[in-house]
Amino acid sequence: MGCFSPRLMGFSRATRDELARIIPERRCCRLAELAGLAYVDGNITPEGYDVVVGQAAAARTVYLLFKELYQPYMEIKVRHRARFNKHNLYMIRIPHQPQLETICNSLKGVQRRYVLGRWGRACCRRAFLRGVYLGRGSLTNPRKTYHLEIVFDSFQQAAVVQSCIETFSLNPGVVQRKNHVTLYLKDGSQISQFLNLLGGHTALLRLESVRVVKGMRNQVNRLVNCETANMDKTLEAALRQVENIRLIQEQVGLESLSLDLQEVATLRLEHPYASLRELGQALDPPLSKSGVNHRFRKLEGIAEELRDGGAKPSSDSTG
């Protein structure tokens, strides 16, 4: 089976297909992964033991793991779902046979240990979670949003898997949705960690690539927004300074000002959109940004006096 192409399939399906190609080396890990799949999709029936999954990749994994572990006789059936649903259901059945009881007891033994919180080896826990994800997991394209979820039939199932995931320092949420329960991760870094522990390294690289691009885009947007906000403040201040100077010019004339204030007022009228630093460099001798701002504060004080009383400002204000 060749490497998947992201252009030919969705992100979630590509991730599932990658995980389905992983066959653990240890027998205990193979059993744990099969137990994870059976935990969410397995059921004892009058005909035998059935595992019913909604994805071909998951069905292949179930078949291969049963074959590797027990070599049982198996029946495989494909059922079409409702009329408007294009997906199929795949049923792998272990009919009644001498080793059926051994198979059921082995799977139940692993599941019972996890229900009791007896987690054992990390490699087996990872395999168990991979099986659970193959059966019921999905992943939204990270270009849209960060969202990984696993759907369960009950809170009890979800709670066991949630506790297992938490042993890896991850913090999934659980929510009731209509007739099922959903366990989810919405943080990009936590989803990356989860894919890594499942063994989905190609999916992890694709996710991290999207996260880097998003992070760069967000950083650029923040810088642009910050620069825009600074420009807005600069323009507002410049317009206020021009307004103050126009008022002084109309009511008492710029010649009433001291030479240093006349100089900066004339420059501002000539360059209404220049920054304080640019105005300071244009003065002779050049003046610092804070020095220019100090002169504009004096001009603002004179303008406020004129607005309040309408009288000519005192000589102290113009000096």
Determine the pLDDT at residue 310. 59
At 84-110, the pLDDT tens digits run: 556 788 999 999 999 999 999 999 999
The candidate with the shortest Cα–Cα distance to 24, out of 80, 57, 68, is: 68
Q: Are 134 and 40 in contact (CB under 8 A)?
A: no
Which residues in the chain come in under a pLDDT of 70? 1-9, 81-86, 211, 214-215, 310-319
Q: Are 140 and 12 in contact (CB under 8 A)?
A: yes
Determine the pLDDT at residue 315. 46
ω into residue 72 within 30 of 0, thus cis?
no
Structure tokens at 63: 């078949």
Determine the pLDDT at residue 264. 87
Which three-class secondary structure string do you get for 124-189?
Answer: HHHHHHHHHHHHHEEECCCCCCCCEEEEECCHHHHHHHHHHHHCCCCCCEEEEECCEEEEEECCHH
Q: What whole-number distance in Å separates Cα of residue 161 and Cα of residue 139?
A: 17
Determine the pLDDT at residue 8. 36
Determine the pLDDT at residue 4. 36
3-state secondary structure of 45: strand
Number of residues in the chain: 319
- Give the CA diameter of the chain: 111
- pTM comes to 0.66
Handedness of CA 46, 48, 49, 55 (dihedral sign): negative
Determine the pLDDT at residue 313. 53
Determine the pLDDT at residue 3. 39
Determine the pLDDT at residue 279. 86
Task: Set out the domains of the chain in order of their start, with CATH numbers.
Answer: 11-199 (3.10.28.10), 229-318 (no CATH)
Q: Are 307 and 249 in contact (CB under 8 A)?
A: no
